Chains A and B, each alone.
Chain A
Amino acid sequence: MRKYVVLFSIVIATSVLAYLTTYLEAIGLIGLDTRYLAKLFLTFAYNPLARELTAISPEAVTSIVWDFRGIDTFYETAVFYMAIIAALAIYRGIGYPSIQSEKGLSIIVRVVTKLLIPINIAIAVSIAAHGHLTPGGGFQAGAALAVISVLLAVVFSASSFTKVGISLSKAIALRTAGLLAIAAVVFIPVVFSAFTGVQAYLMQNQVKVDSAFAFPAYIQDQLISGTLIWFNLAEFLAVSFGFFVIFMLLSLREDVVKEQLGEDHGH
């Protein structure tokens, strides 16, 4: 009976939403035109004629993510960081054993995976380094690199992490280094301002109306879009090794965890 009440209320809610969105146009005329704000972002993402307003990146999404709404993304990275801390807290006291089972998948799968891993690294670095030019960025690159941790755990068994030289503490250290690099780029303008007396703002990328401080937009005629490339590379490090931590913890064998948790944790 209760199930039908839930089902009925959900159907009613969907019908109301459908009516609102199509007949009453509650979310605007979809598909016909974009909002004024969208045109503004598209015009100022890369615009050398308006140096005080532009993020100097041809990729509008990355401009919004790391410049126009940069603080938002900074806190988003902090949330991701906290989630991994929570996961580590749940697994506290459980050491990562150096040798688990040596079994993996067949030789064919192993060889193919060995061939794929360098390509995967190259693609991930490319997505991160071109994040300000083409679709992609730090998070997407990190997710692409994290595939390797799953491949290692599934194809070569969890003990392969130790073999390739990645331990849990190393992954945590690299992830923290990524986050510290983001914080460094955020605070560089403020430190610069403190030493030189030039007006500069937190997380500033290009010149503003009342501030002459700007990160270099080009290195030898190559567009690097000021802070955006550094943010993308730092986020890449933070996210990829954050995922490494997660998948290393999830690939721990259940009997190993139970053994370390002790008898009183059984049901």
Chain B
Amino acid sequence: MDTSFIERFLIVLTLYNLLVTTSISLYGIVARPSITKKIISLTIFGDSLNVLAIFIGFRVFSVPPVLLRTDNLDELLKLAYSAVDPLPQALVLTAIVIGLAVNLFIIFLALQVYRLYGTLDSRKIKELRG
């Protein structure tokens, strides 16, 4: 199926948007001193990479990877040649859960750091003993 100029433009625009979001979040992780902001940047970083993974499996004029009729097997071939790639979706589902688990752990650690040191500024925490 041929894609028009506007479709190609939108695809490239989405891709660049994702890359820019990833870069901004990477900047947040590296350069912001506040641990809260680092965590927020980390979640944005993870989410933009997940969207990028889904985006790789995208195709124009597509349907979701769900078979709607199981009585007619012609539908099966139609689905195979018109649905989006289900593999990135499955992998991203796994990545979301693992990302969530890691984020939860980091949030609990940050909470404990705040209780012990009274600050979430990484410059001040570095100077403290312990």
Distance between Cα atoms of A137 and B83 in the complex (Å): 19
The residue in chain B whose Cβ has the minimal distance to the Cβ of A249 is B108
Which residues in chain A, 20-61, are within 8 Å of chain B measured between CB atoms? 21-22, 27-28, 30-35, 37-39, 41-43, 45-49, 58-61
Residue B87 CB within 8 A of the other chain:
yes
Which A residues are closer than 8 A to B by beta carbons? Answer: 2-3, 6-7, 10-11, 13-14, 17-18, 21-22, 27-28, 30-35, 37-39, 41-43, 45-49, 58-61, 63-65, 69, 72-73, 76-77, 79-80, 82-84, 86-87, 90-91, 134-135, 137, 139, 223, 239, 246, 249-250, 257-258, 261, 265-267
Distance between Cα atoms of A265 and B116 in the complex (Å): 6
Distance between Cα atoms of A69 and B86 in the complex (Å): 12
4 additional A-B pairs beyond A30-B58, A59-B66, beta carbons within 8 Å, are A18-B15, A38-B86, A41-B86, A46-B70
B residues in contact with A6, CB < 8 Å: 27, 30-31
**Interface pairs (9), CB distance under 8 Å:** A2-B31, A10-B23, A10-B27, A22-B12, A30-B11, A32-B1, A33-B59, A43-B77, A87-B105
Distance between Cα atoms of A27 and B52 in the complex (Å): 10
A80 with B100: CB separation less than 8 A: yes
B residues in contact with A223, CB < 8 Å: 70
Number of interface residues of B (CB under 8 A): 61
B residues in contact with A261, CB < 8 Å: 115
Distance between Cα atoms of A11 and B22 in the complex (Å): 11
Closest chain B CB from A240 CB (angstroms) = 13
Count, A-B residue pairs, CB within 8 A? 163
Closest chain A CB from B14 CB (angstroms) = 9
A28-B56, A60-B66, A83-B105 known; A37 vs B3 contact (CB < 8 Å): no
Partner of A31, one of B16, B58, B90, B102: B58
Residue B81 CB within 8 A of the other chain:
yes
B residues in contact with A13, CB < 8 Å: 23, 26
Q: 1/0 contact trace for B10-21 toward A, CB 8 Å?
A: 011001100110
The residue in chain B whose Cβ has the minimal distance to the Cβ of A77 is B97
A58 with B20: CB separation less than 8 A: no
Distance between Cα atoms of A135 and B66 in the complex (Å): 7
Residue B80 CB within 8 A of the other chain:
yes
Closest chain A CB from B7 CB (angstroms) = 7
B57 with A38: CB separation less than 8 A: yes
- A14, A28, A30, A33: most-surrounded residue (chain B CB, <10 A): A30
Partner of B65, one of A32, A42, A49, A77: A42
A58 with B98: CB separation less than 8 A: no
A residues in contact with B27, CB < 8 Å: 6-7, 10
Residue B67 CB within 8 A of the other chain:
yes
- Closest 8 CB pairs between A and B? A83-B101, A267-B118, A58-B67, A60-B86, A38-B85, A64-B90, A60-B65, A14-B23
